[in-house]
Structure 1
Amino acid sequence: MKQIYFLWLVVLYLSGIHSGILIAQVPKSLDSLEAYVKTYAPTDTNYVKALNRLGDLTSRKKADYSRADSLLRVSEKLALKLDFGLGVTDANIYLGSNYYLTDRPQQALEYLQKAQIMAEKYKLSPRMRAQTITNVGVAYNKLKQYEKAIETHLRSVRLQEQLNIQPRIPTTYEGLGLGLKNMTKPREAIKYFEQALALKVAAKNDYGAAITEHNIGRCYDDLNQEKEAIKHYKTALSYIPGTDYELLRADILGNIGLALRKDKRFQEAKPYLEQGLAIAIKHNNKESISGSYFDLGRFYEEQKDYKQAELYMKKALKLANEREDKVTIAEYTQGLADLYGGMKDFQQAYVYQLERNQRMDSATAIRTSAEVQRMVAKYETEKKEARIQLLQQQAKFNQQETERTRFRTNALLTGAALFLLLGGAVSAWLLNRAKLRRLEEAQQLRKQIAHDLHDEVGSTLSSISMLSGHTDTLLRQNQPESAQKMVQKIYTDARQILESIDEIIWTINPGNDSLQRIALRLQEYAQPLMESKNIKFDFQIDALLEDIPISMEVRRSLYLIGKEAINNLVKYSQATQATVRFEKNDNQLRVLIEDNGQGFDTVQQSGRTGQASMKQRAQAMGGLLEIRSIPKEGTRLILTALLT
C-alpha cells in the first residue's frame, strides 16, 4: 500500500486543540484573511495571529508553499519583536508543517523542535506544550525513526495524563498508531487509531476523521483484509467535502485502487488509480506523483501489459531519484527487477537487482544476496540455452550440407569427432568438479562436527574431569556435603553433553531435512519451558512448509536462533503470553517469536542476551533477524530467509 505520510501533520490545529489562535477579531476564511492582512496595521498580536492562520491555509488549501513560507517568517519576526510567545510557537509549527508538506522532514523536525522550546520558554498552556511534543513525534514518523516517534508520543500521553488535559489530543494517538503500523504491528496500531478517531468525531473534525479512517484502512490492508480496508477508505472519502484537501483525496483514491487490485477487481481499480495520479500531477507533488506512477506500473504488470508497466515504473524511479529518497528508490528498483524477471529479460532484471543491492545498507543487502545469485543463475542459464540452441542449429545446417557433398560429409565427421572430444573433456571436467564439490562439502561437514564437539562437548568434559578430581579430594578431607554438590554439578554437565550430542546428531541426520521437523523440535524444546513459567504458549506452523527441504547448515542456524530466543523469552521477559509462528510468504520463510513481557531498550542491550550471535547466525544462513522491543510493551523477533 502507498506509504505517503504528508497526510496529517496539517490537522494539528483543525482538531480544536488550540483555541487561543482563533478569536473573534481574526477572520477564518482565506479571502477575509487576505483582506484583513492588506488593510490591518501590522502592529499587534492580532496581526500575528492573522498571518499565521493565512500562512497555514495558503499551504494546506492552495498548496502555495513559497508564499506560505514568506507569510510565516514575517509572522515569526513580528511575534519575536512583540515578545508574543504563542505567535512565535504557532509560526514555527506552521513552518514545520509547510516543510513537512514539501517533503523536507529534517527541516520540519527542526522547526517543530523549536516550537516545543518556545512553548516551554513562554510557559504556554499545558495543552499547547503537550501538542508541541506530539508534533515532534509526527516529524520522527516522517523521518522513519519509528522508535523515537513512539517514545515521543508516549511522553506526550504521560504529560496529558499527569496534567489531566481534556479532551486528549487526538494526533498523539494518531502518531502512536502510525509508529506501530510502520513497525509492522497493524493490530496494535488500529487500537490507537480508533482512540484518535473517537476524539476527532467528538470534536466534529471531519478532515482529521478522514485521515484516521484512511490510516485504519491501511492497517487492514497490511492484514490482507481488503474488503474491510476499502470500507474504511470510502468512509474517509465521505468526510472530505467537495474538492477540499485534494492531496489527501489523491492518496485515499490510490489506496482504494490498490486494495481493489489486490482483491482482483481490476476494472474497478484502474479509475481510482488514475484519479489519484491526476490530482497529484495537478498539485505537482512529486512524492504523490511517483507513488501513483509506481502503483499504476504494478497494476499493468499484473495485467501482463509489460510495456505500460515499464513506462510507469521508470517514471516513478526517475522522480524518486530526483527526491533522493533512498528507501523509495530501493523499492522501485526492486519493482523493476521483478518486472523484468516476469518478462524473462533476465539481463535487465539482473542489472536492476544489483542496483537495488548496492543501494541497500549491509544488513538489508544480506536478505537479497540469494535473490541476486538466483538472478545471475537465470541469466547464465539463458545464455547457455542460447548457445546450445545455436550449436543445434549449426549441427542441423552441417547435416544438410553433408547430404550434398562427400567433402562436407568428411568435414562434418571431423567436426563431430572434435566436438565429441570437446564434450568428453567438458564432461570429465564437470564430473571432477562435482566430485571436488562433494569432497569439499564432506570436509566442511567434518570440520563443522569437529568444531561443535570441541565447543559444546570438549570444554564440558574438561570441567567434569576437574570436578571429579576435586570430588576425590573432598571425600578424603571428609567433606561429604561439598562432595555431594560436586557430584550434582558433574551430573548436570553430563546431561548437558548428552543434549549437545543429541542436537549434533539430529542436525546432521538427513531425515530431518525439512522445515516442519525443525519447527516441531523447537516446539518440543519450548513447551516444557513455557509451562514451567506459566506462559500461555501458541505455536503455529504453516502447512505449506511441511515438505520443503533445507540444508544442514541452515537447519542448525535456524534451530540455534530459535532456541536462544526462546531461552531469553523464558528467562527475562516476565511474559504471560508467547507466540512462535513459522510462515511461508511467497518464496520466503518468516519465523516470528513474540511475547507480551516487559521488553527492553534494544540499543542499550544490543550486545546482551545473545543478540549479536543470533544476528550472525541469521547472516550466515543468508537471512535477516530483526529484534523489536519497547520497555513494558513486549518483544518481537522476526527472522526472514529465502527458500531455495
Structure 2
Amino acid sequence: MLFAQTSSELLDSLKTELSIASTAKARSLILSELTWYYVPVSHDTAISYGMKNIEVAKSLKDDAILGQAFSDLGYAYMEKGELIESRKNYHESLKLRYQTGDSTQIYATITNLGSVYQRDFQSDSAMVNYLKALSFFERTGNDRNADFVRNNIGVIYLDMRNYPKALEIFQVAAAYRKAQKDDYLYASTLTNIGSIYKNLKEFEKSEEVYLEALRIFKAEGDDFYTSTTYNNLATLYNAQQKSDLAISHAEMGLVLAEQVGADYDYALIESNLAQSYHDLKDYPKSREFYLRALTHFKAQNAEEDIASMYLLMSPVYAALGMPDSSAYYTTSYVDLNKRLTEQEIQQLTSDLEARYQSEQKDAAIARQQLELRNKNFQLYGSLVLAVVLGIVGYLLYSQQKLKNQQLRQEGKLKAALGQIETQNKLQEQRMLISRDLHDNIGAQLTFIISAIENLKYFDPIKDTLTHRYDSIANFTKQTITELRDTIWAMNSGQITWEQLSARISDYLQQAGISTLGINFEFEVEKSLDPNFHLVSSEGIQIYRIVQEAIQNSLKYAYPSQILVSVSQVDNLLQLIIKDDGTGFVESEIKAGNGLFNMRKRAEELGGKLEVLSQAGKGTSITLLLPKK
C-alpha cells in the first residue's frame, strides 16, 4: 500500500505545483513530470498531460524542451500499446535532438525507438537501434545507459528463445547492477534469469534465483514487483506439478496485487490459480478462478488474454461433463483469435496505405511546383536560353527521380499487400483446422490439446512473450501432427503391421533429424507376417507407447543409441524399446504420467508392459501382446 500512497502523494504535489507555476518553462517541466509519473497509473491521463506539454513547449521555441516533451509523449503511447503514435513522437524528438547536437539525448531516443520496435515484435529493427546506441554508450564510457541497452538486447534473445545467449547477457547485466548496489535493477535481472532457467527446465536454479529476487523486492518495500515475483514462482511450481506450492504463492501475490491496484497482474495470478486447481482436478474451483480472471481481463479490454482464457476454460468444462459450454468457449476462442488477426492485418494495411497516400500527395505537390516553374522559365526563355536548358535538364532529372521513387513505393505496397493476402490464406487454413478439431474430434481432443498449450500461455516472460503469428503457427503445426496420427488410424479401419512399421520408422527418422548425436535403429524380425492385421485403435495405442518411451528416454536418460525391435515369441508379439542411457531405479523415482500411460495402454491392449532399468546401464521397455 506504501507504493500506491507514495505515487498518489507525488502526483497531487505535482498538480499543486502546476496550478501555481508562473512561467511557461516551469509549466512545461511539471507537465513533463506528470506525463512520466502518470504512465503506470493511467495511460490516457499521461497522454493528456503529454499533449498539453507539447503545446506549452512549442510556445517556448526551445528545441531541447520540445524534444523532451515529444519523448515523454512517445513513452506514454508506447506503454499504452499505441506503437505507431509512439514511433511518430520519438522521431519528432530525434529530429529536434539532432538540431541541438546533444549526443547523449540522441542515442537515448534511438534506444527508445528500439524499445518501440521490440514491443512491435520487429526484433531486427530493434536490434539495429540497440546496437547503434550500445556502441555510442560504450565508446563514451556511459556504463549505466550501456547496461540498460544490453539488458534489452538480452530480452530480445529471450523472446527468440536463444536462452544461452540471453543468459550470457543477463549474467553480465546482473554482475554490473550488483556491483553498483542497484538492488532494484539487480532483482529485475534475476527475474529474467529465473525465467530462462525455468524454460530450460532447470527448476532448482530457477527457484533459487526467483527467491533471491523476491527477497530483494520485499526488502525494497516494492509490493508491485513482490506480487509479480510470487506469480512467477507460482508459474514455476505449476510447471513442476507442485500445485499446492503454486496456490500458496499465488494467493500471497493476489493480496499484494489488489493492494497496489495492479489489475492486470491480479488477473494473471487468478489464471495461475485456475491452472493449479485444474492440475489438482478440482474443476469447479478451476472454473471459478478462470471466470474471475476472464471478467478482469474483459474490464481491461485485454483481448489476447481473453482469448487465452477461452481456450483454457474449454477443457475444464469438458472435465465437468458440460460439452456445450466446452464447445462454446472453443468457438469463442476461434472467433476472437480470427478477429484479432484480422484487426492486425487491417492495421498493417492502413499504415501502408497512409504512407502510400503521403508519398502520392508529396509527388503531386512536386509536380505542381514543376509545372509552375516551367511556365516561369518559358517567359524568360529567349533571354537566358543556356540557363533554361540547364534548369530544364535538372527538372527532368528531378521529375524522373520522383517517378522512380513513386514506383518503388508502389512496389513496396504491392509486396506488402501480397504478404497480407498470404497471411489471410494461412489464417483460413488455421480456422479450418480449428473447426476440424471441434467438429470431428470433439471435446475430448480439445481437452488434450489445451493441456499441452498451457505451457505456452503461462510463460510470464512471455511475460511474452512470441508474436501472435508465431504462436498461431506453432499451435496449428502441433494440432495437425495430432490430427494426422489420429485420422491415419481412424480412416484405415484396420491396418497391417507393415503400415504400422512404416509409421514408427518415419517417427524414428524425424527424431534422428531433430536430436543430433543419437543413433536410432529399427529392427523387424523377417519371419513376422507383414500383412498381419491390427484394429486401428490397437495400432495407434502401440504407436503412442513407442512415442512415450522414446520421449522419456530423450528427456531423462541422455542416450547415445535407441533401438526399437519387433519380433514374435511363441504366440506373442514382442516390441522392445531399448536405450543405453543413464537408467533409473523405479522404486526411487516418483512415478510420472509417462510410465502410467504406457502401462494403461498395454492393459487396454490386453498385453503386458515390462520395464527393466539399472542406474548407469540403460533402460529396456518390453511390450508383449497376444496375437489375435
- The TM-score with structure 1 as length reference comes to 0.51
Separation in 1, partners of 2:77, 2:222: 17
Which residue, out of 121, 145, 154, partners 1:177?
A: 154
Please tell me whether the aligned partners of residues 85 and 122 of structure 1 are also in contact (alpha carbons under 8 angstroms): yes
Alignment of 1:357-372 (within 5 A): 357-358=334-335, 359-360=337-338, 363=426
The residue number in structure 1 matching 2:404 is none
Which residue, out of 478, 497, 514, partners 2:505?
A: 514
Alignment of 1:87-126 (within 5 A): 87-102=65-80, 104-125=82-103
Which residue, out of 273, 298, 305, partners 1:328?
A: 305
Please tell me whether the aligned partners of residues 228 and 253 of structure 2 are also in contact (alpha carbons under 8 angstroms): yes
1:175 CA displacement? 1.7
Please tell me whether the aligned partners of residues 193 and 212 of structure 1 are also in contact (alpha carbons under 8 angstroms): yes
The residue number in structure 1 matching 2:284 is 307
Please tell me whether the aligned partners of residues 50 and 72 of structure 2 are also in contact (alpha carbons under 8 angstroms): yes
The residue number in structure 2 matching 1:56 is 36
1:100 CA displacement? 4.3
Which sits farther off after the overlay, 177-186 or 275-284?
Answer: 275-284
Look up the SS of the partner of 1:248 in the other structure: helix
Separation in 2, partners of 1:40, 1:244: 33
One-letter amino acid matched to 2:169: Y
One-letter amino acid matched to 1:184: R
Matched residues, number: 393
Which residue, out of 210, 221, 238, partners 2:187?
A: 210
- 1:259 maps to 2:239: no
Please tell me whether the aligned partners of residues 141 and 178 of structure 1 are also in contact (alpha carbons under 8 angstroms): no
Alignment of 1:106-505 (within 5 A): 106-125=84-103, 127-160=104-137, 165-240=142-217, 245-321=222-298, 323-358=300-335, 359-360=337-338, 363=426, 373=436, 375-377=438-440, 379=442
Please tell me whether the aligned partners of residues 541 and 583 of structure 1 are also in contact (alpha carbons under 8 angstroms): no
Separation in 1, partners of 2:426, 2:494: 28
Separation in 2, partners of 1:65, 1:521: 51
The residue number in structure 1 matching 2:388 is none
Distance 1:96 1:275, change over 3 A: farther
Distance 1:140 1:521, change over 3 A: closer
Separation in 2, partners of 1:246, 1:107: 31
The residue number in structure 2 matching 1:482 is none
Look up the SS of the partner of 2:217 in the other structure: coil
Separation in 1, partners of 2:207, 2:155: 19
One-letter amino acid matched to 2:235: L
Segments of structure 2 that go 5 or more residues without pairing to the other structure are 1-8, 342-424, 446-487, 525-533, 537-548, 553-628
Separation in 2, partners of 1:288, 1:308: 20
Please tell me whether the aligned partners of residues 99 and 108 of structure 1 are also in contact (alpha carbons under 8 angstroms): yes
One-letter amino acid matched to 2:166: A
Separation in 2, partners of 1:222, 1:169: 27
1:176 CA displacement? 1.5
Deviations 1:91-150 (A, max 9, x none): 33333333444455554444344433433343222x322221222222233334444433
Please tell me whether the aligned partners of residues 512 and 519 of structure 2 are also in contact (alpha carbons under 8 angstroms): no
1:213 CA displacement? 1.8
- 1:80 maps to 2:71: no
1:298 CA displacement? 0.9
1:335 CA displacement? 1.0
Distance 1:161 1:66, change over 3 A: same
Please tell me whether the aligned partners of residues 180 and 189 of structure 1 are also in contact (alpha carbons under 8 angstroms): yes
Separation in 1, partners of 2:86, 2:493: 60
Please tell me whether the aligned partners of residues 167 and 199 of structure 1 are also in contact (alpha carbons under 8 angstroms): no
- The TM-score with structure 2 as length reference comes to 0.52
Look up the SS of the partner of 2:509 in the other structure: helix
Distance 1:214 1:509, change over 3 A: closer
Separation in 1, partners of 2:520, 2:134: 39
Look up the SS of the partner of 1:217 in the other structure: helix
Distance 1:141 1:583, change over 3 A: farther
Please tell me whether the aligned partners of residues 170 and 197 of structure 1 are also in contact (alpha carbons under 8 angstroms): no
Deviations 1:274-296 (A, max 9, x none): 23334444455443233222112
Separation in 2, partners of 1:274, 1:104: 33
Please tell me whether the aligned partners of residues 516 and 541 of structure 1 are also in contact (alpha carbons under 8 angstroms): no
Distance 1:515 1:228, change over 3 A: farther
Deviations 1:480-529 (A, max 9, x none): xxxxxxxxxxxxxxxxxxxxxxxxxxx98944633453237759xxxxxx
One-letter amino acid matched to 2:132: R
Please tell me whether the aligned partners of residues 170 and 196 of structure 1 are also in contact (alpha carbons under 8 angstroms): yes
Please tell me whether the aligned partners of residues 77 and 83 of structure 2 are also in contact (alpha carbons under 8 angstroms): yes
Separation in 2, partners of 1:51, 1:245: 26
Please tell me whether the aligned partners of residues 210 and 232 of structure 2 are also in contact (alpha carbons under 8 angstroms): yes
Please tell me whether the aligned partners of residues 78 and 86 of structure 2 are also in contact (alpha carbons under 8 angstroms): yes
Distance 1:584 1:98, change over 3 A: farther
Separation in 1, partners of 2:325, 2:309: 14
Deviations 1:425-456 (A, max 9, x none): xxxxxxxxx9x9769999xxxxxxxxxxxxxx
CA-atom RMSD in angstroms: 4.6
One-letter amino acid matched to 2:167: I
Look up the SS of the partner of 1:41 in the other structure: coil
One-letter amino acid matched to 1:120: Y
Please tell me whether the aligned partners of residues 79 and 88 of structure 1 are also in contact (alpha carbons under 8 angstroms): yes
Separation in 1, partners of 2:255, 2:428: 35
Deviations 1:200-246 (A, max 9, x none): 34444333223222222222222222332232223323333667554
Separation in 2, partners of 1:297, 1:238: 26
Look up the SS of the partner of 1:239 in the other structure: helix
Please tell me whether the aligned partners of residues 117 and 126 of structure 2 are also in contact (alpha carbons under 8 angstroms): yes
Separation in 1, partners of 2:92, 2:175: 30
One-letter amino acid matched to 2:97: A
Which sits farther off after the overlay, 312-321 or 367-376?
Answer: 367-376
Look up the SS of the partner of 1:514 in the other structure: helix
Alignment of 1:550-629 (within 5 A): none
Which sits farther off after the overlay, 173-182 or 348-357?
Answer: 348-357
Look up the SS of the partner of 1:304 in the other structure: coil
